[in-house]
Copies of this chain bind each other. A is one copy, B any other.
Amino acid sequence: MSLRHALLGLLVDRSGSGYDLMKLFSTSLGNVWAATQSQLYGELNRLEAAGLIEVVAEGPRGRKEYALTGAGREELHRWLTEKEGEKPQRNEMLLQVFFLSQLTKEQSVEWLLHQADVAAGQLAALTRLDASIDWDGGPISLGGRLALEYGLRLRAMEEEWARWAAGQVIGPASPEGAAEAADTADGS
């Protein structure tokens, strides 16, 4: 139930409407937590019913501007300090890796190099994002910087891993791969 906490966190130091919050999910925050518009408005209503946020202003087009209540601030703090057990993990890419043997060696290598390219592309996108943000002393900026650095390290790791894995598939010594033996200069 972390969408709830994402919303509380965003409302900590500025009030905003669902529409405002949506824009944050589509940009910076979307890199660590995704949410659809549909989900967001529903959750805002539930948060208000639970007394964790309240409407502090109403604007044109039915705009409702929300702010944290004391209870909301407490809940956010509780969530940040609790230690929880490990959550179930899911990584579709790794699931596919598990069953990579269903493909031919050539297909597997191609697949892994594609993953490397995807990771490289994500790394480039994060690098661009990094350059585009002015890291002045905003309140979210420390956390944002740390999260971004995680992303940079993660994608770099993924690219390296995928290229390494492609090498593993080809094999430390692949004697039967005669088709691609263009050069006979492999020593030792």
Contact = CB atoms under 8 A, between A and B. Distances in A.
Interface in A139-157: 139-140, 142-147, 149-150, 153-154, 157
A181 interface: no
A143 B33 contact: no
Copies of this chain present: 2
A121 B12 CA distance: 33
B81 A143 contact: no
Interface in A25-48: 29-34
A44 to B, nearest CB: 17
A150 B159 CA distance: 11
A27 to B, nearest CB: 13
A100 B9 CA distance: 9
Query: Chain A interface secondary structure, helix, strand, loop or mixed?
Result: helix
Given A111-B80, A153-B157, A9 B95 contact: yes
Interface stretch (A15-23, A57-65, A84-92, A172-180): A84-92
Contact of A169 (B142, B164, B168): B142
Given A2-B95, A157-B157, A83 B114 contact: yes
10 contacts: A9-B99, A29-B95, A79-B96, A80-B96, A87-B92, A97-B146, A97-B147, A100-B146, A101-B140, A142-B168
